[in-house]
Amino acid sequence: MSATYKDAGVDLDVYAESMSRLPRLMHRTHSPRVIPSDGGFAGLFQLDFAGKLFARNYQDPVLVSGTDGVGTKLKIAQQTDHHQTVGIDLVGMCVNDLLCTGAEPLFFLDYVAMGRDDPARLERIVQGISDGCVIGDMALLGGETAIMPDMYGDEDYDLAGFAVGVVERSRLIDGKQISEGDVVLGLASSGLHSNGFSLVRKVIRDAKCDWDHAPPQLEGKTLAEVCLEPTRIYTAAIRNVLAHYRVKQVLHGLAHITGGGFEENLDRILPAQVDAVIDASSWNAPPIFGWLQETGKIETSEMRRVFNMGIGMTAVVSEFYAASIASQINDAGVPCHPVGKIVAGTGTVRYQ
């Protein structure tokens, strides 16, 4: 008997069914800048609009790109059979990086690798990616689904995302304008986002808790619900501020607070002659952080190094505009307030 691909673990008929479920999830994210190319080998996107009403009229556009994944947060999705939000995490981790340059997000591509084909599960995953693209205001332009038995277990999968944006060179945000006296605004996270989950899972495993456990500190929510809360996407908040100040460059620096916390993310944009002094008492971290620290007996320094501690992005702004910018970000639905200041120094971040 001759061997077939199906014998090797890949059923092309099931794969075709999986692919048939995805176009609608892509099309709902498309803007007029997407050039239809269903069935093509690559997605097509025009940088500018043809019509005058929405034309960008770029003078010196710079393309911005980024890639990321979701990490071992995926293990929780797989163990709880809750796959519909990790796609939001995937988009969020990529688009929040783009925003730090002042870029307008344009389009997104995904890569899904699975141990076995499962059309319904794939659809739930890509639904989340599609939802993330709608929130992030970018087109889901294409992607790749790879079925790789032996590389992954039957219930395992991994995700990678790739985002592209554009910014006028004159409006590029790179931290060079940060100066002594500036204010550091903290934009609240939705929780853990997508960092530190190897430690999260170890704490929960060592405590012999299951995902349905609802510690009193979490106010009625289970560990699964809190840990799978999707990453907050900051597109609307940041783009609204940039649209409000079309001439002045009021955002001197933006930092996406991911693994490494303030000290290993905010310092990446600081000029060599200043420090950022963070007041950790200026905000209340979501309860999951306190529960993890207490349950796992984790040092505060380690918590700050691994997790965002409730602040998912920082904006360094002129003191004169700080109150107005914070108000605009709050109006966009993202809690925001001062969490620190810029002082003379050597390009480092420290807590007061």
On the question of pLDDT at 35 being above 90, the answer is yes
The average pLDDT across 195-201 equals: 97
Q: Is 132 exposed, middle or buried (0-12, 13-18, 19+ CB in 10 A)?
A: buried
What pLDDT digit, counting tens, does each position of 80-112 carry?
Answer: 999 999 999 999 999 999 999 999 999 999 999
Closest CA to 314 of 252, 248, 226, 271: 252
Closest CA to 326 of 189, 183, 190: 183
Categorize the per-residue pLDDT at 39 as very low, low, confident or very high, splitting at 50, 70 and 90: confident
On the question of pLDDT at 245 being above 80, the answer is yes
What is the reported pLDDT for 213?
97
Fold of the domain spanning 12-35+57-170: 60s Ribosomal Protein L30; Chain: A; (3.30.1330)
pTM of the model: 0.95
On the question of pLDDT at 224 being above 90, the answer is yes
On the question of pLDDT at 68 being above 90, the answer is yes
What is the reported pLDDT for 65?
98
CB-based contact 310:269 (threshold 8 Å): no
Q: What is the mean pLDDT of the chain?
A: 96
Taking the domains of the chain in order of start, what are their residue ranges? 12-35+57-170, 183-351
Q: Which CATH code of 3.40.50.2300, 3.90.650.10, 3.40.718.10, 3.40.50.300 fits the domain covering 183-351? A: 3.90.650.10
At residue 329's C-alpha, the angle toward residues 84 and 265, to 5°, is 70
**Domains 12-35+57-170 and 183-351 alike in fold:** no
At residue 79's C-alpha, the angle toward residues 188 and 222, to 5°, is 50
What is the reported pLDDT for 53?
78
On the question of pLDDT at 228 being above 80, the answer is yes
What pLDDT digit, counting tens, does each position of 278-288 carry?
Answer: 999 999 999 99
